[in-house]
Amino acid sequence: MYPDVAAVMAENLNFTLDLVRESKWGSRDGRTGEWSGMLGGLQRREYDVAFTGFSAVPARYEIVDFLETAVMQVSGEKILNSPFFC
């Protein structure tokens, strides 16, 4: 999770941030198509956005939209990689 990135976005875009800690990314139930974990929360519209590092795989594209990577990790320091953060 990237709470520092979320806080910068909340401040610059003027929205209220309510962080929820979810312990699992989620997996899809092959029978029902429902997702568990964070992806399930997004699918059920319990969450508006997820700030995390899960992989953009085809099955996940069916329920969420992915953005380009906004943060890179270099030698333990986070580098913001977007004109928004300049």
Q: Give the model confidence (pLDDT) of 11-57 as tens digits.
A: 888 888 888 888 888 899 999 999 999 899 999 999 888 877 777 78
Is 6:18 a contact under the CB 8 Å cutoff?
no
CATH number at residue 43: 3.40.190.10
In whole angstroms, give the CA distance from residue 28 to residue 35.
4
How many domains, the chain? 1
pTM of the model: 0.66
Q: Which domain holds residue 66?
A: 3-85
Q: Give the model confidence (pLDDT) of 30-40 as tens digits.
A: 999 999 998 99
DSSP state of 21: -
